[in-house]
Amino acid sequence: MSFLEEIQRRRTFGIISHPDAGKTTLTEKLLLFGGAIQEAGAVKNNKIKKTATSDFMEIERQRGISVATSVLAFNYKDKKINILDTPGHKDFAEDTFRTLTAVDSVIVVIDVAKGVEPQTEKLVEVCRMRNIPMIVFINKLDREGKDAFDLLDEVEQKLGLHVTPMSFPIGMGYDFKGIYNIWEQKLNLFSGDKKTSISESIEFKDVSSPELDKAVGEKAANTLREELELIDEVYPAFSREDYLKGQLQPVFFGSALNNFGVKELLEAFIEIAPSPQPKNSQERLVDSKEENMTGFVFKIHANMDPKHRDRIAFVKIVSGVFKRNSPYLHVRQGKNLKFSSPNAFFAEKKEIVEESFPGDIVGLHDTGNFKIGDTLTEGEILNFKGIPNFSPEHFRYVNNADPMKSKQLFKGLDQLMDEGVAQLFTLDFNGRKVIGTVGALQYEVIQYRLEHEYGAKCTYENLQVHKACWVEIENTKSDEFKDFLRVKQRYLAKDKQGQLVFLADSEFTIQMTQSKYPSVKLHFTSEFK
């Protein structure tokens, strides 16, 4: 198969949702349809994730949650599909945010009963920032939930999306009879009292046909006709071009638990979803079809095998072919590295691969060379953009609990921050270190890992901060900026990259600061240039 054909057959996407919307079940069913696993429940009981994610901490085993993104790959109808299954738990949202830099498209899962939830809003905002093509899957239709049109309105209003239904439910919950697939003009009906199987898929080019009344009953058929008419009038027709630009989001309805609507989602996905896309670097736009290999590290996972203390750097291949044992330039360090055992993740197993193509995710054993955002090339100096830090929601001073181990503590903090576990801020006026995290659970993770991996102990002190705001200023010599530095000096800090950050104690403080110092712009992500 030629290089260009290899690129065209790849689909790399992430699945995002609020916890419990059914993301894991959907991932599992996609793997089932793709023939990658033979039994349901494998994702839940971690059979698949054993190799891609390790329960390296007691905290993971106790709470039964995944704190890391898993990479799962399988083949379906001549397409090579790479799924990045992200943690749903909000305390580990940073990992999800970064994973979104490595995907070409996204499936957003929404619970029919709960509708759009806060975590979904945050994640979709990140996708919108990057114009990532999104497909919406409204899940759990076998349960009582919100009206389909109300849900579509909610998705448009709360998430700021422009949707077009590609399938539509016939009834819901107890009255759920099936789904009309607008994309393929087919009717998928449920059978059996327990509604656990799909009885048949009937082609219906003409919904005005009396056959529809026979299939679903007169009342349901009339309702469906009215709803499809309304869809035609209200929603735009599907345009692949608009979808790929991130300007239109197709919506599918289904029930992942009952395999309902999943196959339709997968069939449409492989047809419309983008193959690996060009990616912006600070220097230029890199096209996936270029011959020279380029790739970037979007995630680092430490201690995947606790016996060997290894770290694996997850690299997304952007262009060219990544070959085992070939030398590649580590741009930040300016040195060439070879990799004798690059890993690819095929559902249940991790295996060494000879070559990987654009869109693929490769796991490289790391002895501490990599940071998140690092670039590998065949010699060209490139730095890929787009791995932002978001304003944390929890802030604590970090204190050294063992003065004899201060070197280990600083090394540990430095490496854990490189891994993206949390963010480190150093206060300007007294040099104290502040750790900011998305979720409180991360503090336990940091404490545990500092002790068990670096032999250092730390304690925390609460700090009353509402938000970290990255400061942008056009004229650093202006009197206004000097006054800002003088008045706010106790609340100013530097992040790990040396950017100026204002640690605001309330929303009111942010508003007052912005009105008093209009030339000082405050941002809630570190990526604003």
Question: By the 8 A CB rule, do 275 and 359 touch?
Answer: yes
Residues 141, 57 share a domain = yes
Q: Is residue 223 part of a domain?
A: no
pLDDT surpasses 70 at 311: yes
Q: Which two tokens stand for residue 75?
A: 């083949």
Total domains present in the chain: 3
Residue 78 within a domain:
yes
As a whole number, mean pLDDT of residues 136-148 equals 85
Residues 409 and 357 in one domain: no
Alpha helix segments (H runs only) across 357-487: 406-418, 441-454, 479-487
Residues 449, 465: Cα–Cα separation, whole Å: 25
Q: What are the strands, taking DSSP E only, across 303-409?
A: 311-319, 322-323, 328-330, 335-337, 343-346, 349-352, 355-356, 361-366, 375-377, 394-400
| pLDDT at res. 72 | 78
Q: Maximum distance among all alpha carbons in the chain?
A: 83
Which CATH number covers residue 368? 3.40.50.300
Per-residue pLDDT, averaged over 150-179, amounts to: 86
The predicted structure's pLDDT at residue 172: 75
Asked whether residue 227 is domain-assigned, the answer is: no
Look up residue 109 and give its two tokens. 């899962």
Confidence of residue 41 (pLDDT cuts 50, 70, 90): very low
For Cα atoms 34, 37, 41, give the angle at the middle one, nearest 5 degrees.
120
Please indicate whether residue 330 or residue 85 has the higher confidence score (pLDDT): 330
pLDDT value at 56 more than 50: no
- Could you tell me if 465 and 414 lie in one domain? yes
> What band does 96 get if pLDDT is binned at 50, 70 and 90?
confident
Check whether residue 135 and residue 8 sit in a common domain: yes
Taking a C-beta distance cutoff of 8 angstroms, is the pair 187, 201 a contact? Answer: yes
3-state helix, strand, coil in the chain (%, to 5): 30, 30, 40
Percent of the chain with pLDDT over 90: 25
Amino acid identity, residue 440?
A
Residues 369 and 234: their CA atoms lie apart, in Å, by 53
Q: Summarize pLDDT for 187-243 with one digit per residue, the tens.
A: 877 664 444 444 456 666 677 777 777 777 888 888 888 888 888 888 999 999 999
The alpha carbon of 61 is separated from its chain's Cα centroid by a whole number of angstroms, namely: 23
Greater confidence (26 vs 307) lies with 26
What is the per-residue pLDDT for 207? Answer: 73
Residue 343 pLDDT > 70, yes or no?
yes
**Side chain identity at residue 139, one-letter code:** N
Interatomic CA distance for residues 306 and 137, integer angstroms: 37
CA distances in angstroms from 128 to 1, 83, 159, 280, 298, listed in the order given: 34, 20, 9, 16, 19
- Quote the domain boundaries for residue 98: 3-173+236-272
**CA-wise closest residue to 100 among 316, 250, 265:** 316
Residue 160 falls inside a structural domain: yes
What is the rounded CA–CA span in Å between residue 466 and residue 90?
17
- Select the more confidently predicted residue: 347 or 142: 142
Mean pLDDT confidence for 2-10: 89
CATH number of the CATH domain containing 477: 3.30.70.3280
Q: What percent of the chain has pLDDT over 70?
A: 84
- Residue-wise pLDDT tens digits, 227-283: 888 888 889 999 999 999 889 999 998 888 877 788 888 888 888 999 998 888 888
In this structure, what are the phi and psi dihedrals at residue 142, rounded to the nearest 5 degrees? -75, -5
CA gap 288, 358 in Å, rounded: 6
If asked whether residues 440 and 371 sit together in one domain, one would say: no
Q: Could you tell me if 47 and 122 lie in one domain?
A: yes
Q: Which pLDDT does position 328 carry in this prediction?
A: 93
Domain match, 15 and 93 both: yes
The reply to whether 50 and 165 lie within a common domain is: yes
Q: What mean pLDDT do residues 36-63 have?
A: 43
**Tokens read off for 5:** 């054909």
* DSSP character at residue 232: H
Q: Has residue 388 been placed in a domain?
A: no
End of a domain among 224, 253, 272? 272
Co-location of 157 and 298 in the same domain: no
- The alpha carbon dihedral of 27, 251, 195, 81 has a sign of negative
- On the question of pLDDT at 397 being above 90, the answer is yes
The values of phi and psi at residue 403, to 5°, are: -55, -25
- Which pLDDT value is given to residue 200? 54
- 423 located within any domain: yes
Q: What is the mean pLDDT of residues 344-369?
A: 80
* Stretch 130-134: mean pLDDT: 88
Q: What is the pLDDT of residue 458?
A: 93
Same domain? 361 vs 302: yes
What residues contact residue 448 under an 8 Å CB cut-off, 6+ apart?
Answer: 57, 58, 59
Mean predicted lDDT score pLDDT of the chain? 81
Domain identity same for 284 and 265: no
Same domain, 283 and 267: no
pLDDT band at 303; cut points 50, 70, 90: low
Average of per-residue pLDDT across 108-120: 85
- Among the residues of 55-207, which ranges form H helices? 58-63, 93-99, 118-129, 148-159
Tell me the pLDDT band of 100, cut-offs 50, 70 and 90: confident
pLDDT class of 492 with cuts at 50, 70, 90: very high
- Can you tell me the distance from the alpha carbon of 3 to that of 312, in angstroms, rounded to the nearest whole number? 27
Q: Is the pLDDT of residue 69 over 70?
A: no
Of the residues 214, 245, 272, the one at which a domain ends: 272
Q: 295 exposed, middle or buried (CB, 10 Å; 0-12, 13-18, 19+)?
A: buried
Q: What is the mean pLDDT of residues 352-377?
A: 86
In the prediction, which pLDDT does 228 show?
86
Residue 51 clears pLDDT 70, i.e. is over it: no
Q: Is residue 167 part of a domain?
A: yes
- The answer to whether residue 217 is domain-embedded is no
pLDDT of residue 220: 83
